[in-house]
Structure 1
Amino acid sequence: MAENLLYALVGFVSIQLFYYLFIFTRLAFYGRGRNYASESPGVTVLVCAWNEKENLQELLPILDAQEYPNFEVILLDDRSDDGSEEFIRENIQNWKHIRYIRINDQFDHVTPKKYALTVGMKQANNPIALMTDADCRPSSLHWITTMASQVNTEKDIVLGFSPYEKRPGFLNWFIRCETFYTAVQYLSFTLAGWTYMGVGRNILYKRELFFENKGFYRHRKVTGGDDDIFLNEVATGSNTAVCIEPESFVYSKPKTTWATWFRQKQRHLAVSKYYRSRNKILLGLLSGAHVAVWLLGFATLGFGLWTKNNLLLQELGVVFGVRWIIQWFLLIVINIKLDKTVEWFSFLLMDFALFIYYTFFGLFVMTRKKPRMSWN
Structure 2
Amino acid sequence: MITALLITWLFIVGIQLIFILLVYSRTAFYRQPDRNDSLLPPVPSGKSTAQTPVQRGITVVVCARNEWENLTELLPMLNDQIYPLFEVLVMDDRSTDGTKLFLENEIAHLSRVRFIRIEKEHEHVTPKKYALTIAIKKASYPTVLLTDADCRPASTDWLAGMVAPMETGTKDISLGFSPYEPQPGFLNLLIRSETLFTAIQYFSLALAGSPYMGVGRNLAYRTSVFFDNKGFYTHKNVVGGDDDLFINEVATCSNTAICLDPNTFMWSKPKTTWTDWRLQKRRHLNVGKYYKSGNKFRLGLLTGSHVLNWLLALAVGLIVLVHELLHTSFTASEWLLLLAGTGLFIVRKLAFWGIVGRISYRLGHTVHWATIPFIDLLLAVYYGLAGIKTLFRRRKKRLYWR
* TM tier, smaller: over 0.9
1:374 alignment partner in structure 2: 400
**5 Å matches for 1:39-188?**
41-151=56-166, 152-188=168-204
Q: Matched residues in 2 for 1:37 and 1:269: separation? A: 39
2:272 alignment partner in structure 1: 256
Q: What per-residue deviation string (whole Å, max 9, x for no partner) do you get for residues 325-367 of structure 1? A: 1111111221121111011111111111111111111111111
Please say if residues 66 and 142 of structure 1, whose CA atoms lie closer than 8 Å, have aligned partners that are also in contact. yes
Please say if residues 301 and 313 of structure 1, whose CA atoms lie closer than 8 Å, have aligned partners that are also in contact. no
The aligned amino acid for 1:266 is R
2:45 alignment partner in structure 1: none
2:291 alignment partner in structure 1: 275
Report how many residues are paired: 376
**Stretches of structure 2 lacking an aligned partner (at least 5 in a row):** 42-52
Aligned identity (percent) is 49
When the two chains are superposed, the root-mean-square deviation of aligned CA atoms in Å is: 1.5
Q: Matched residues in 1 for 2:217 and 2:386: separation? A: 23
Q: Matched residues in 2 for 1:316 and 1:239: separation? A: 40
2:40 alignment partner in structure 1: 38
Q: Do residues 340 (structure 1) and 362 (structure 2) align? A: no
Q: What per-residue deviation string (whole Å, max 9, x for no partner) do you get for residues 259-313 of structure 1? A: 1111111111111111000000000011111111111101100100110259577
The aligned amino acid for 1:85 is K
TM-score of the two chains, using structure 1 as the length reference: 0.97
The aligned amino acid for 1:374 is Y
Max Rg structure: 2
Please say if residues 13 and 293 of structure 1, whose CA atoms lie closer than 8 Å, have aligned partners that are also in contact. yes
Q: Matched residues in 2 for 1:34 and 1:220: separation? A: 38
2:50 alignment partner in structure 1: none
Q: Matched residues in 2 for 1:248 and 1:33: separation? A: 13
The aligned amino acid for 2:29 is F
1:192 alignment partner in structure 2: 208
Q: What per-residue deviation string (whole Å, max 9, x for no partner) do you get for residues 142-166 of structure 1? A: 1001011110322000000000000
The aligned amino acid for 1:353 is L
Q: Structure 1 residue 32: deviation in Å?
A: 2.1
2:383 alignment partner in structure 1: 358
Q: Matched residues in 1 for 2:189 and 2:344: separation? A: 27
The aligned amino acid for 1:221 is N
The aligned amino acid for 1:187 is F
1:2 alignment partner in structure 2: 2
Q: Matched residues in 1 for 2:135 and 2:383: separation? A: 36
Q: Structure 1 residue 3: deviation in Å?
A: 2.8
Please say if residues 103 and 115 of structure 2, whose CA atoms lie closer than 8 Å, have aligned partners that are also in contact. yes
Q: Matched residues in 1 for 2:2 and 2:188: separation? A: 39
Q: Structure 1 residue 233: deviation in Å?
A: 1.1
TM-score of the two chains, using structure 2 as the length reference: 0.91
Please say if residues 197 and 231 of structure 1, whose CA atoms lie closer than 8 Å, have aligned partners that are also in contact. yes
1:331 alignment partner in structure 2: 356
2:239 alignment partner in structure 1: 223
Q: Matched residues in 1 for 2:341 and 2:254: separation? A: 41
Q: Matched residues in 1 for 2:152 and 2:360: separation? A: 20
Please say if residues 47 and 74 of structure 1, whose CA atoms lie closer than 8 Å, have aligned partners that are also in contact. yes
**5 Å matches for 1:305-320?**
305-308=321-324, 317-320=342-345
The aligned amino acid for 2:61 is L
Q: Matched residues in 1 for 2:279 and 2:135: separation? A: 27
1:299 alignment partner in structure 2: 315
The aligned amino acid for 1:124 is A
Secondary structure, in 3 states, of the residue corresponding to 1:94?
Answer: coil
Please say if residues 300 and 316 of structure 1, whose CA atoms lie closer than 8 Å, have aligned partners that are also in contact. no
Q: Matched residues in 1 for 2:216 and 2:39: separation? A: 22
Query: Which range is displaced more, 273-282 or 82-91?
Result: 82-91
Please say if residues 303 and 383 of structure 2, whose CA atoms lie closer than 8 Å, have aligned partners that are also in contact. yes
Q: Structure 1 residue 315: deviation in Å?
A: 5.1
The aligned amino acid for 1:325 is L
Please say if residues 238 and 287 of structure 2, whose CA atoms lie closer than 8 Å, have aligned partners that are also in contact. yes
Q: Matched residues in 2 for 1:4 and 1:303: separation? A: 13
The aligned amino acid for 1:144 is L
Q: What per-residue deviation string (whole Å, max 9, x for no partner) do you get for residues 10-44 of structure 1? A: 10001111111111111111002433453782000
1:290 alignment partner in structure 2: 306
Q: Structure 1 residue 71: deviation in Å?
A: 0.4
Please say if residues 6 and 338 of structure 2, whose CA atoms lie closer than 8 Å, have aligned partners that are also in contact. no
Q: Matched residues in 2 for 1:314 and 1:208: separation? A: 56
